[in-house]
Amino acid sequence: MNIENKKNSTDQYSDEQLIKNWLGFENKYTVVNGIQLHYVEGGSGMPLLCLPGWPQTWYSFHRIAPQLAKSYRVIVVDIRGMGTSGKPEDGYSKKTMAKDIYELTKHLGFEKVNLLGHDIGGMIAMSFAFNYSEVINKLIVMDGAHPTEGMLQMPLIPAKGTFTNKMDINMPYVWWMGFNQVKHLPEKLLEDRFRYLLDYLFSYVMLDDTKMTDFEREVYASVYNNPENIRASNAWYQSFTQDIEDSKNYKPLTITVLGIGSNSSYNYIKMGLPYVAINCKVEGIIDSGHYMIEENPEKIIELVTGFLS
């Protein structure tokens, strides 16, 4: 199969090389909803689909997926525009991306799945739940909720004294929300230079960014150094206005939902999630920043397995 943007299989950061450290997992590719998706699959039991966020790939689950695969059939997906999945010019609304995942579940023959999403993946997971709740057993969202009109109130300029070298947990300034709205320029600035952004971002939003190893940073830089990957991933953000419009037609979820929030998002998730999910529970990992899987994988495994069982 001709895989779009697929790296040479001998590249240490290629899907083929990275999967070797995931015992029992395989790389797979398929075309659903008119787009090619790359995913990795391992384990057995009730299906657990995992959706990563920006600026990472399927590999971001490497600390927890092999452990979860002891109890579940784990599928980690490179969402539309990510990694070696397709990067079309359009189709980046969370509703469309949720349909990608829904069609993947049908392709795999699943009647019911558990769904876990982090960051942008959490937004897609929630859209999936709003549109295909009959397919979901339980939903987990980590530091990612469906876009709402509240996003339009995010400040362009940070309040005095709140924008330092670490994110202010009471007044988080998420400058990339604006930066990623810009078309054509980011890929020109960041082509072959994405490591600069990664290092700054991880330092800013993590409490202990040494938990994000140099190898992991190079894995993600090797992907996002490509201007097509930058363009496609920024499209996730540029579709927020459409996502907000879509959200106005959704009814509160009745399925069982777990929200997991980091130090900067726990209070917001605790306040916001009950408005859109009637049967929800919210847990905080306040000793971790946004990249909780890297900072506290053991706690994530504990919360996820406890909730699903």
Q: Where are the domains of the chain?
A: 15-308
CB of 304 within 8 A of CB of 285? no
Instruction: Please list the alpha-helical segments (H only) found in 143-283.
Output: 176-179, 185-190, 194-205, 214-224, 227-238, 240-247, 266-276
**Residues facing residue 38 across a β-bridge:** 29, 78
Burial 3-30 (b: 16+ CB within 10 A, else e): eeebbeeeeebbbeebbeebeebebebe
Query: What is the C-alpha to C-alpha distance for residues 122 and 105, in angstroms, rounded to an integer?
Result: 17
Query: Distance between the two ends of the chain, CA-based, in angstroms?
Result: 38
CB of 240 within 8 A of CB of 154? no
Q: Tell me what pLDDT residue 7 has.
A: 58
Q: Tell me what pLDDT residue 5 has.
A: 45
> What are the backbone angles phi and psi of residue 277, rounded to the nearest 5°?
-140, 110
Closest C-alpha to 226, from 7, 43, 66, 48: 7
In this prediction the pTM is 0.96
Q: Tell me what pLDDT residue 9 has.
A: 63
- Give the chain's residues under pLDDT 70: 1-9
Beta pairing class for 136-142 and 277-285: unpaired
* DSSP single-letter state for residue 250: P
Fold annotation for 15-308: Rossmann fold (3.40.50)
Query: What is the C-alpha to C-alpha distance for residues 228 and 213, in angstroms, rounded to an integer?
Result: 25
- pLDDT (tens digit, 9 = 90+) per residue, 22-71? 999 999 999 999 999 999 999 999 999 999 999 999 999 999 999 999 99
